[in-house]
Amino acid sequence: MARRISIIGGGYVGLVSAVCFAKMGNSVEIIERDPWKVDTINAAIPPIYEKGLEDCLKSHAGKNLTATTSYTSILNTDITMICVGTPDQEDGSANLKYLEEACKSIGNELKNKRSNHLIIVKSTVPPGTTRNLVIPTVISSSLNNENIEFAFNPEFLREGRAIDDFFNPDRIIIGCENDRAEKIVLSLYHNIDAPKIRTSFCEAEMIKYASNAFLATKISFSNEIGNICKKLGIDVYKVMNGVGLDHRISPYFLNAGIGFGGSCFPKDIKCLINLAETEGEDPQLLKSVMDINSHQPLKLVELLIQRIDTLKHKRIALLGLAFKENTDDIRESRAIPVILELQKHGAIIAAYDPVAIPSMQKIVSNIEYCSTAAEALKGADAALVLTEWPEFRYLQKEFDQMKSKIIIEGRKILLYDDKEGICW
């Protein structure tokens, strides 16, 4: 049965979830406080780059998917999903002010509704947030505790592959307290073939954090092994290929390189560290994961300095600015510390990325942005490859335009022979 869904937040998680639920035949209304985002979504223009998102949005915008700045549309829906940001604060804890504001607004609208309504939290939040913040805030604002149900349903969407991940998840986690809420959430995913696991609110919230922390740990572990392999002249990719064939380990997230970035792993691990310390625990492993990740991109510059006499006034081409391929997201991108370190050494930077240049220009303005990889490479004293964009794989003659062929990969992507890797 098609559902009427309101989604709070037109950011990455909210917009991707909205188009996917619309594609499944549901009627979806995005509630977003940024008027520009509302206008672009209604015009079928995605405000972010995500593979396949534009086509999905064009198919459903103005039909069974619309966007608005008003919460009043909640009254016309049966389900409200909260997909607002929970950024980290200076101490690493999650900033829940957007979540609390959304809960108050939802509650105010539900004052006038007497039919049943399910609120699903999809934002990543510390364990206990649904029970201790979401539920009491909505109930106190709505003056209604009889017709409102709650659930926590975390998302596991990889940027660049989010739509495919939505329809082909490894599992669907449903944190709830009663059969009715579980039944409604299950109905949303009725035609998706994946294990569906019911847990408590806190268990579901912790599953999200623990999953991201473990994946980040695999990346930092691989980078640590890669750094050792580099010293010993060993190909870390062959090593990790052999390691990953062990079914207890699996080959995923074992690619050594310049570390992880994005909107999830860094902030979620910081939050988990803060949560542990608040409870009197010292999460040494998680701290090490973050420490390795912070230093890894600087090793790329250290290697470059070993290959070139000085970086002062040298033209360094950077290929890739997004934190990963198939997205324009530069949040915690490993390109940022590389740029800052190169500038510290007086280098002249020429950067290219297929889609992330406008995003990076907002925070780094004093470098040269190029329209093609060839333009960035022309006359360069060295090149650093920072993102696994597929188009970089086939660069060949473009490297012939360089002043000197010092080519170092932070992500293993090039087919070009005359290059080396940060860990291999």
Please identify every residue annotated as catalytic: 264
- The answer to whether the beta carbons of residues 414 and 386 sit under 8 Å apart is no
Q: Which residue from 209, 329, 334 is spatially nearest to 259, judged by alpha carbons? A: 334
- The answer to whether the beta carbons of residues 86 and 48 sit under 8 Å apart is no
Q: What is the β-pairing status of strands 65-68 and 27-31?
A: parallel
Phi, psi (deg, nearest 5) at residue 244: -70, -20
From the centroid of its chain, how far is CA 132? 26
Phi, psi (deg, nearest 5) at residue 66: -135, 165
In angstroms, the CA 413 to CA 424 distance is 12
Host H or E run for residue 170:
none
Angle at 303 between CA 298 and CA 307, to 5 degrees: 145
Residue type at position 262: G
Total residues belonging to the chain: 424
- The answer to whether the beta carbons of residues 259 and 332 sit under 8 Å apart is no
In angstroms, the CA 76 to CA 259 distance is 45
Phi, psi (deg, nearest 5) at residue 152: -115, 120
Q: Which residue from 48, 299, 52 is spatially nearest to 167, judged by alpha carbons? A: 52
Host H or E run for residue 58:
helix 53-60
Supply the DSSP symbol for 327: B
- The answer to whether the beta carbons of residues 196 and 203 sit under 8 Å apart is no
Taking phi first (over 0 means left), then psi (-120 to 50 degrees means alpha), and beta for anything else, what does residue 240 get? alpha
In angstroms, the CA 134 to CA 83 distance is 13
